[in-house]
Structure 1
Amino acid sequence: MISRVISRDDEFLVALRMSGFEGVFCSDTEALNTQFDAALKDKNIGMIILNEKDFRALEEKVLAVKEKKRSPFICTLPGRDGYSEEDFIMKYVRDAIGVKLD
């Protein structure tokens, strides 16, 4: 199984490529959608890595995939400035399990 980075941020992509991940640069949202769909169809891909901005663009699609499929694992990493929402992790957990944690 391989990991694939899909991003519209060239610096994010280069940093992860330097870490040994394969990646695809997308110039716009349409290309991002196309590459994400292609990665879902590829049985060799075990993990898809997105930055937060790209996750927001694909949020409905990503959450639908997470609800229906076990593979591939979809990982969201913050951009250069960190997460844009203060409680991103808590919101993610709340959405995933349906319980508000304090």
Structure 2
Amino acid sequence: MAAKSGFSLHVTIFIDPLNVAEFFKHFRLTYENVIAEPECTFFEVYQSPENPGELRWVENWSASVKWFQEHQMTKEYYKPYFEATEPLFVKPRQFQIYNRMEGYFYTG
């Protein structure tokens, strides 16, 4: 059964299309660590068909944003990921946070 509260984090990054494979070499381990977290209930990655260097992912969490900032984002496995991937960005990364609307969610 899906959690009744939580939030959704939408992240968009912009990298040179020639660096997409390099980005994913560093992304994979962090992705695997994040999806192993019990509070992470959903994680999907998307690529723009018009701009292959524009990547977006959606993470759903069964915890509060405060918990996420204080406990999740401080995990050690993020540090090497940020160090390796941030130099690949051609524009600043974008974050959007959405709160779950009770009564309007479904997971199959």
TM-score surpassing 0.5?
A: no
Higher relative contact order (CA 8 A, sep 6+): 2
Give TM class, smaller chain: under 0.3
**Length-normalised TM-score, structure 2:** 0.26
User: Greater helix share, 1 or 2?
Assistant: 1
Indicate the structure with greater strand content: 2
